[in-house]
Amino acid sequence: MNNLSVANTATHKAFDVKAIRRDFPILSQQVNGKPLVYLDNGASAQKPLAVLDAMDRYYREMHSNVHRGAHTLGDRATAAFEGARETVRSFLNAGSTQEIIWTRGTTEAINLVANGLAPRLKAGDEILVSHMEHHANIVPWQMLAERTGAKVVPIQVTPQGELDLESFNSLLNDRTRVLAITHVSNVLGTINPVADMVKQAKVRGIITLLDGAQAVPHFQPDVQALDCDFYVFSSHKLFGPTGIGVLYGKAALLEEMPPYQGGGEMIERVSFERTTWNTLPYKFEAGTPAIAEAVGLGAAIEYLNGFDREAMEAAENALLERANQLVETVPGMAIIGTAKSKVPVMSFKIKGLHPSDIGTLLDQQGIAIRTGHHCAMPLMDFYGVPGTARASFAFYNTLDEVDQLFTALQKVQRLFA
């Protein structure tokens, strides 16, 4: 599915989806009298017991503020908090924990970078994004452009849902200052050729940011191999808790950037004459952090490290393959996004049916999907649709659940026909 996975040296468990599902208690419930089929993983993935237990243990046994407590609980909390940072560093293959910044999520991470790059931009400069970006990787750059006089320029996509690389190549020029691109599309599932794009950008000295929110649940990126300047993702899509995310940034750039917020941990010394900033990564972590959430994210990554990622990717590919095979069983169904390289995300429409009606009727059958514009209005405009229905799969989903989805879609189509 991709060639950017980092080999995991841990002892792997056999990939047994039935056993894996027992690790996710929420999956065993019924919804509207039907067994839950959870296919909204692209919006937020479910949490294994390892994550729930780690956060519970933190609150029961070690809760304290971190870094400056002169007592045992403070030491325990700090060790767990910074241990989670090391877990993230290893997951991304970053060079140092100084390059791992805790944020509230992908959105805040992008805003932090956009704010920090403001001194580098001036009127006439250009920021490259794409037509398949999530709003979180469009709006912060538009706000930056308004402040600096720069311009946001979109890379085109093809009807199949792949980046138009001719468009990309034609847009690179001496005015380009930033390339901010999604690693994986949240609507299309497309895996973009980001390594080659970053390489081309670096030749021109362009700052690069990769939105990895939809990538990290499906494969393990290597930021040093990618050589991107920034990489961002959210915990809750990676089977961890909500309310925390990660910004990886090259240390030299982070050192140059001004703080994003002021107060608390980000200071070295404060006086009314002058305040100096803390060292990395704390320079960007103002106030009491999301300690339990960091611990939970670390536990999620450690849980994933217990499996063979290649086996997980193969299982997810099988889910998407089965779904693609069944499309023709639903009259009027059409897939939005047919890229050759995809994660298991299927956005679709059914002739004569509104996406929200599809979602509501599937929910009555216990099946959870997402409907609407998926925070990607420019992409919806490109395809000429108000929104789509989207089924997004995870490694704990089963082929039987794929079959249940299409049986339910057939019922919905017959009802409206």
CB within 8 A of 237, min separation 6: which ones? 41, 42, 43, 44, 45, 213, 214, 216, 217
Cα–Cα distance measured from residue 263 to residue 260, given in angstroms and rounded to the nearest whole number: 10
Which amino acid belongs to residue 61? E
Residues annotated as catalytic are: 375
* SS3 assignment, position 389: strand
Cα–Cα distance measured from residue 107 to residue 237, given in angstroms and rounded to the nearest whole number: 13
- Give the C-alpha distances (Å, rounded to integers) separating 116 from 109, 216, 348, 350, 364: 11, 24, 38, 44, 46
- Given the structure tokens 């930021």, which residue do they identify? 223
Nearest of 413, 411, 335 to residue 366 by alpha carbon = 411
Sign of CA dihedral 215, 221, 225, 231: positive
Please tell me the total number of residues recorded for the chain in this structure: 417
What's the chain's Rg over C-alpha atoms? 22
Cα–Cα distance measured from residue 39 to residue 338, given in angstroms and rounded to the nearest whole number: 19
Phi, psi of 342 (to 5 degrees): -140, 155
Residue 153's CB is within 10 A of a number of other CB atoms, namely: 17
CB 339 within 8 A of CB 160: yes
